[in-house]
Amino acid sequence: MEAILVSACLRGVPCRFDGRHKASPEVEEALADRRVVSFCPEVAGGLATPRPPAELVGGDGHDVLDGAARVVEDTGRDVTAEFVDGARRALAAAQHAGCTEALLMPRSPSCGRGAVYDGSFTGALVPGDGVTAALFERNGIRVRPAPGTTPSGG
């Protein structure tokens, strides 16, 4: 049975910044006949639940990995190190389980693929990937958004 890493919030774990989850029947249907590895990079990186919202500033997750952008909470606190550490832990879990694919939460500064919030905390989106999504793509793990969602909407 093929393994897939899935954002833990999509599996019903209340680990999002607001202390909620994003489980849905569409996600569960998409995971039928798959061995699922649930993982929250932000919690794995040491962030609490709930926590202040964070966005990418100065670029996307690829830029964060290259040291050219940051992840900042709406309080102004820089949480780049936590996001990078969580992404590395997620990658290790995915590789350990033999995952070649990941189903991740859209628009997230960790898990977003194709579009992420722009760092203004206004809900505006820009093209790009979250930190974990970028690290997965760099390491040959295909990332796709959760079913029932689109990069630009919910």
pLDDT score recorded for residue 153: 40
Global pTM reads 0.94
pLDDT tens digits for range 44-68 = 999 999 999 999 999 999 999 999 9
How many helices (H) and strands (E) the chain has is answered by: 5, 8
Q: How crowded is residue 75: how many other Cβ atoms within 10 Å of its Cβ?
A: 10
Q: How far apart are CA 127 and CA 110, in angstroms?
A: 14
pLDDT score recorded for residue 149: 61
Say which amino acid occupies 73.
E
Task: State how far the alpha carbon of 100 is from the alpha carbons of 26, 40, 65, 127, in Å.
Answer: 21, 17, 20, 23
pLDDT in tens, the chain (154 residues): 899 999 999 999 999 999 999 999 999 999 999 999 999 999 999 999 999 999 999 999 999 999 999 999 999 999 999 999 999 999 999 999 999 999 999 999 999 999 999 999 999 999 999 999 999 999 999 999 888 765 444 3
Cα dihedral sign, 13-18-24-27: negative
